[in-house]
Amino acid sequence: MLFENRRLAYFIPNTFTALNMACGFAAILFAFNGQFYKACMFIVLGAIFDSVDGRVARMTNTQSSFGEQFDSLSDLISFGVSPAIVYYLRFLTDSGRPGMVAAFFFILCGALRLARFNANIDKNKSDYFQGLPIPGGATAVISMVLVSINMPEIADYRFVTVGYLLFYAILMISNIPFPSFKKSEWVKNHKKQVLMVIFLILASLFIYEEVMIPAIITVYVVASLIYFLSHRKKFEGIFDWQEEPETELK
């Protein structure tokens, strides 16, 4: 009985990971049918499932190498392939090969971002992500799609739409530190204020998600870039990890 319960405990976080992947797949299907709002909302739902699976695994003490790899594969589909296809179908279908290359470049950078994260998962102990996390990149991409629902003329500016996609792709593979808030002392010391901010954000998302999703990700990225540029000395060498020496075979 204990063995069966243990197997169930491992099954639960992987179920949320699978739901995340399913949301990414559903977003692609809706995008092909021209239902871009629903496609974007499924990607947002996938991000919610993605934030849950790791927490459930830690709560149940069921972290595993399999779960980490499964989560990364799911993230690549939901936050790499899915938003790139949604964005391409919304803005880049008339851009020819440059549009195809831009969409693929976003997927490629997302894959590189996830591979780098997995390779350094035991080394990075800081309160910062190395580059923009792929869910953040996906959120930025669908934000432009959501804005275009009320401002369809954006689609006419191909230089802007292509440049926007490339910009966030490059941010994912950059060495720019983005706050994770997981170990933030300020968050720990101001829990009531943080809870109030979270409540206000959720309420605003519920009321007017088409504006608040783009606003939140834009504020996060711009504030992170400004803080990095104004505190460059603080972040020198933050991601310079020493490689373990290779042992010689005898």
* Degrees, nearest 5: CA angle 58-41-103: 95
2-61+69-176 has which CATH code? 1.20.120.1760
At 1, the pLDDT band (50, 70, 90 cuts) reads very low
DSSP string, 137-182: HHHHHHHHHHHHHH-GGGGG-HHHHHHHHHHHHHHHHS--EEE--S
What's the pLDDT tens digit per position in 47-66?
Answer: 999 988 777 777 777 777 88
Under the banding of pLDDT at 50, 70 and 90, the label for residue 223 is very high
Least confident of 77-86, 136-145, 189-198: 189-198
Which pair of tokens denotes residue 88?
């391409």
Share of the chain above pLDDT 90, in %: 53
Is the distance from CB of 38 to CB of 89 less than 8 angstroms?
Answer: no
Per-residue pLDDT tens over the stretch 75-108 = 999 999 999 999 999 999 988 899 999 999 999 9
State yes or no: pLDDT of 226 exceeds 50: yes
Q: Three-state SS for 68? A: helix
Name the pTM for this structure: 0.88
